[in-house]
Structure 1
Amino acid sequence: MENNLAIAALGALAQTTRLETFRLLVRHEPDGIPAGELARLIAVPQNTMSAHLATLARAGLVKSERQSRSIIYRADLDGLRELTLFLLKDCCGGSNELCAPLIAELTPCCGPETTPS
């Protein structure tokens, strides 16, 4: 990821409504949420939500898909992964022991699923 795209993504998330919207979309993966429903859930006018979604899309954080008369928005998890890796790639100067607490914190929600024996 280039610096300019990282700055755009961080800037897009540096606003309350957009951050709430993005986090809501992440929680609703992989189904996504229609634009009108997003506006209702966040309690903002639909035209305002459209502007916020456009900002998030330009930053590579959301994607949309038309389904009949609705536009379904989803978090772009690839964009989130790229941003996260960009921020962490130089983490702790490459010292695994310093990054271990961060990795442990992420593992409960994002680790590989295991099946009980």
Structure 2
Amino acid sequence: MDAAAALDSLSALAHPTRLDAFRLLVRSEPDGLSTGQLVEASSLSQSTFSSHLAILVGVGLVVSEKRGRQMIQRANLDAVRQLMLYLAKDCCGGRAELCEPLVAELSHCC
């Protein structure tokens, strides 16, 4: 991941509606949620929510797949991993032991 892609992803997440929707999708992995479920959770109109969803899809944080008659939205965990690695890659001047508390906390949260 390069700086431009990281900025695009962070910018997409820098809105409460998009951040909430993305976090909900991460919690809903691996099954994902239908677009209707996301709209309902957001309390927004379909058209307003769709514009937010399009931004997340556009930067690659969310992927859509058709299942029957529904569109299922899923968090792109590979994109999340790339963003997190980009942010932490040079963590603490290459002293990995300083990042161990972060890694430990992540291993206990999921």
Q: TM-score, normalised by structure 2?
A: 0.95
Q: Which runs of 4+ in 1 moved over 6 A?
A: none
**More divergent stretch after superposition (63-72 vs 5-14):** 63-72
1:84 matched to 2:97? The reply is: no
CA-to-partner distance for each residue in 1:11-49, whole Å, 9 max, x for gaps?
Answer: 000000000000000000011111011000111111111
After TM superposition, the structure 1 = structure 2 runs for residues 7-86 of structure 1, keeping only pairs within 5 Å, are 7-86=7-86
Q: How far off its partner does 1:104 sit?
A: 1.4
Q: Distance in 2 between the 1:26 and 1:34 partners?
A: 13
Identity %: 54
Q: Distance in 2 between the 1:81 and 1:103 partners?
A: 13
Query: Can you give the 5+ residue segments of structure 2 that lack an aligned partner in the other structure?
Result: none
Structure exhibiting the larger radius of gyration computed from Cα positions: 1
CA RMSD of aligned residues (A): 1.0
Letter in 2 for 1:20: D
Query: Can you give the 5+ residue segments of structure 1 that lack an aligned partner in the other structure?
Result: 111-117
